[in-house]
């Protein structure tokens, strides 16, 4: 009888790409993506890979990473200010070490289980035991399965019986580009939204010259790209990952033809960039950075959204993922909200019980009024 066991690996290079692909199949952010993450010197994260073997065959791989988790990550307004005040005296107030299953900034969580094993009850105990031991190794107090799609919950809901709490995450936004042309796309929008977008684009073109350069690496502009990214990072209300210069260099190296940097020049000055990933028919709008003075004058956010759609249509890409931020504007431009779910469990039974009581308050629409009318 073949034996099931597991091991915890701290470097993806110790896994062969064909073994990884055999488990995950064709998913957007897979081996090369995680390889880039591991090579990018992201100081907030420590990466692990839980590998489950059935005899000599790898049947499951769970990408894991440890990081500090701010329990107030979605809190805004006066309460956020109060928490920041408390942290002047107690720096780790409402901050705990967590072990996540998934990716720090993937479009959704991924968990590789080889075809034929997804309904095999033998895999789940080893998955949970391995994650528990990895959490001990990482000194993590809480385990979080991060941002999984609704179809994944059919498998993951078994975690609820194991003491995990299920919570709705912030949704991501996707747009199906079943259009012949950009004009055809515009016709799909409501009258007011179409006029709104056309007005933004017309104003942008009237205010100066906008040029777009598309490259696979930004070696010649790297310092300026990092500066634009930092502008956006500092402006954002919710902060989880903080990208490094090394990351922007590494994705170009490791992901190769899957990467496009869209560089936006206004009257000759680099004013914005948009880092996007391309997989088959899928276009992922991943990271963005602005010179906010110029971008406001030229309505660059709307220029970028429109350009991405035009580029996708010209290159026969039919699925456009635009991420979890600024959902109101993205849905106004035709995007659809894709629900995501997380599962979490604290190692302390009393705190875990308390977390279960707080779950109803963790719903995204309690923090973002724009999500209440989904």
What angle do helix axes 245-255 and 31-38 make, rounded to 10 degrees? 150
Question: Which residues constitute the domain of residue 183?
Answer: 173-337
The verdict on 347 and 318 lying in the same domain is no
The verdict on 180 and 297 lying in the same domain is yes
The verdict on 211 and 297 lying in the same domain is yes
Note the helical H segments in the chain: 17-24, 31-38, 77-87, 123-137, 153-156, 182-188, 191-206, 222-235, 245-255, 292-298, 300-314, 327-332, 349-358
The verdict on 330 and 346 lying in the same domain is no
The verdict on 238 and 164 lying in the same domain is no
The CATH number given to whatever domain includes residue 56 is 3.40.630.30
Q: How far apart, in Å, are the Cα atoms of 306 and each of 12, 181, 310?
A: 37, 12, 6
The verdict on 163 and 212 lying in the same domain is no
The verdict on 242 and 305 lying in the same domain is yes
- What is the pLDDT tens value at each position of the chain, 374 positions in all? 567 889 999 999 999 999 999 999 888 778 999 999 999 989 889 999 999 998 888 999 999 999 988 766 555 556 566 666 676 666 666 678 999 999 888 889 888 888 776 555 678 889 999 999 999 999 999 999 999 999 999 889 999 999 999 998 889 999 999 999 999 999 999 999 999 999 999 999 999 999 999 999 999 999 999 999 999 988 876 667 889 999 999 999 999 899 999 999 999 999 999 999 999 899 999 999 999 999 999 999 999 999 999 999 999 999 999 988 888 889 999 999 999 999 999 999 888 887 777 776 666 554 554 554 44
Number of domains the chain contains: 2
Q: How far apart are CA 220 and CA 156, in angstroms?
A: 45
The verdict on 301 and 356 lying in the same domain is no
The verdict on 45 and 96 lying in the same domain is yes
């Amino acid at each position: 009888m073949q034996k099931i066991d597991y091991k915890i690996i701290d470097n993806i290079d110790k896994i062969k790409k064909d073994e990884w692909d055999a488990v995950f199949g064709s998913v957007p952010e897979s081996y090369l993506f995680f390889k880039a993450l591991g090579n990018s010197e992201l100081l907030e994260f420590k990466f692990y890979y839980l590998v489950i073997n059935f005899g000599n065959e790898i049947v499951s791989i769970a990408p894991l990473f440890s990081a500090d988790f701010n329990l107030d990550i979605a809190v805004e307004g006066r309460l956020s200010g109060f928490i920041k005040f408390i942290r002047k005296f107690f720096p780790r107030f409402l901050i705990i070490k967590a072990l996540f299953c998934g990716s720090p900034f993937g479009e959704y969580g991924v968990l590789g289980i080889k075809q034929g094993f997804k309904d095999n009850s033998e895999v789940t105990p080893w998955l949970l035991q391995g994650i528990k031991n990895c959490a001990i190794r990482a000194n993590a107090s809480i385990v979080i399965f991060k941002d999984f799609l609704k179809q994944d919950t059919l498998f993951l809901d078994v975690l609820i019986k194991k003491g995990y709490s299920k919570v709705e995450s912030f949704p991501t936004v996707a747009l199906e580009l079943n259009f012949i042309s950009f004009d055809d796309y515009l016709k799909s929008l409501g009258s007011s939204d179409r006029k709104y977008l056309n007005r933004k684009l017309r104003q942008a073109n009237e205010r100066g010259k906008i040029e777009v350069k598309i490259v696979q690496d930004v070696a010649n502009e790297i310092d300026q790209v990092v500066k634009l990214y930092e502008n956006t990072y500092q402006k954002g209300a919710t902060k989880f990952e903080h990208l490094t210069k090394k990351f922007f260099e590494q994705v170009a190296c490791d992901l190769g033809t899957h990467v496009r940097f869209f560089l936006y020049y206004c009257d000759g000055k680099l004013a914005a960039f948009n880092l996007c990933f391309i997989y088959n028919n899928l276009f992922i709008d991943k990271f963005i950075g602005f010179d906010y003075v110029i971008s406001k004058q030229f309505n660059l956010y709307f220029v970028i959204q429109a350009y991405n759609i035009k580029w996708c249509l010209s290159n026969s890409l039919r699925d456009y993922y635009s991420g979890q931020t600024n959902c109101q504007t993205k849905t106004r431009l035709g995007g659809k909200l894709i629900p995501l779910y997380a599962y979490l469990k604290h190692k302390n039974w009393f705190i875990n019980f308390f977390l279960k009581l707080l779950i109803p308050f963790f719903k995204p629409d309690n923090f973002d009024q724009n999500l209440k009318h989904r």
